[in-house]
Structure 1
Amino acid sequence: MVERSHDFLKKVLHPQAICIDATLGNGKDAQYFLAQKVKKVYAFEIQEDVIEKTEKAISNPRLFVYHKGHEHMDIIHEPVDAILFNFGYCPHGNPEITTLPDTSLEAVQKGIQLLREKGRMALVFYAHKQANQEQKAIENYVSTLTSCDVCKVQMMNHDAPYLIEIEKK
């Protein structure tokens, strides 16, 4: 689903694009945005050791990393073209440190407000201890959005991560 999320977001990535990697982790999504030659990538991460490791791997003046949860993304004060979330825990990290239903829902709500017209948001959901509550809360919210088109992409024949694609009208 990571590749699908990148494909979905690619349409809005251009040299002046402002992007948010809402769950930095190992930096794969931030690297993807930067490789598309976007203007700026804001990233959020709560684990200091993960930030240090990722910032060493990605040294780029267009990357701005915040040691804060994604629910604080309203510190950004400019319209955003693309936002990417990976809900769960950091790969190769502590699986006990996960995204949480309340803060994830708050982050998605704030992200919708930051998106410019025709801006896109991709939500990738992975299994973790609070995944069902998190998924239900976010799906209930995004299914009521009238300012956006919302699409769910999910494997039907086995359990796997799934994707929700959102485009602001």
Structure 2
Amino acid sequence: MMAAKYLTKATDLAKNFIVSVLKAGDVAIDATMGNGNDTVFLAELVGETGKVYAFDIQERALQQTEIKLSNQQLIHRTELIHSGHENMRQYIHEEVSVVMFNLGYLPKGDHHIVTKAHTTIEGIKQGLALLKTNGILTLAIYHGHPEGLGEKEAVLAFVKTLNQKLFNVLHMEFINQANRPPILVVIEKK
């Protein structure tokens, strides 16, 4: 699978970072499964010997993702978990190379069910604890909905406090686009 080559959107930029880190045999986390596109992307990269743990609180997300993975014969590389990303350490007990978050709501789903700052920050903490050295955590932050702006501010405030001796934190955003386009944060564990 090829990652995006152009500056198109935050999720494509995240994938560009991920393909440089995630290799066959690695373990990855899709912290916000959604419609399963990122789970499929990660499952392709980890190969036959790798594993992807994917989290979502909505049953619809698990069902759609399972169908996508099955259709592409990737389901055996994944574990779909019906739980919030703030609980990832209850399910994962090994080091991971990548943790991927897409914050906001399920596209074409109930826009009242959104990620929340307090659970996202807990998920980030747990993801960082699971990351191996030189692993990355990506956050595509969608803040164009009522809850999103507060979540963005809380998440950015939190990641700014990460110890620079332990983590590199990069913040990217499109500055010439209307309607509060998503931003990308990439955290590398040193």
Per the shorter chain, which TM-score range? over 0.9
Structure 1 counterpart of 2:80, from 59, 65, 68: 65
Look up the match of 1:86: 102
What letter corresponds to residue 16 of structure 1 in structure 2? G
Pick the aligned partner of 1:122 from 130, 138, 156.
138
Q: Offset at 1:88? A: 0.2
What SS class does the counterpart of residue 58 from structure 1 fall into? helix
Structure 1 residue identity aligned to 2:38: D
Match of 2:174 in 1: 155
How much has 1:131 moved relative to structure 2? Answer: 1.1
Distance in 1 between residues matched to 2:117 and 2:59, nearest whole Å: 21
Alpha-carbon RMSD across the aligned residues, in angstroms, is 1.0
Conserved in 2, the CA contact under 8 Å of 1:17 and 1:40? Answer: yes
Q: CA deviation at 1:144?
A: 1.3
What is the CA-CA distance between 1:50 and the residue it aligns to?
A: 2.1
2:188 corresponds to 1:167: yes
- 1:111 is aligned, of 127, 136, 148, to 127
Do the aligned partners of 1:21 and 1:43 also contact (CA within 8 Å) in 2? yes
- Residue 23 (structure 2) pairs with residue 8 (structure 1): no
Query: How many corresponding residue pairs?
Result: 169
* Secondary structure, counterpart of 2:115 in structure 1: coil
Q: What CA distance in whole angstroms lies between the structure 1 residues aligned with 2:36 and 2:65?
A: 6
Structure 2 runs not aligned, ≥5 long: 1-9
1:50-82 CA distance string (max 9 Å, x none) = 211221221210110100011001121000100
Residue 46 of structure 1 contacts residue 68 of structure 1 at CA under 8 Å; is this kept in 2? yes
1:142 lines up with 2:159 in the alignment: yes
CA distance in 2, matches of 1:13, 1:49: 27
Unaligned runs of 5+ in 1: none
**Structure 1 counterpart SS, 2:156:** helix
**Structure 2 match to 1:54:** 65
Superposed displacement of residue 129, structure 1: 2.0
8 Å CA contact 2:170–2:187 kept in 1: the answer is: yes
Q: CA deviation at 1:165?
A: 0.7
For 2:160, the aligned partner's letter is S
Instruction: Report the Cα distance in structure 2 between the residues aligned to 1:94 and 1:9, rounded to whole angstroms.
Output: 28
The AA in structure 2 aligned to 1:129 is P
Q: Which amino acid aligns with 1:41?
A: V
Contact 1:71 1:107 in 2 (8 A): yes
Instruction: Pick which of 132-141 and 92-101 moved more.
Output: 132-141
Post-superposition CA distance 1:12-67 (Å, at most 9, x none): 11112100000001011111111223400000010112211221221210110100
Cα distance in 2 for residues equivalent to 1:94 and 1:30: 20
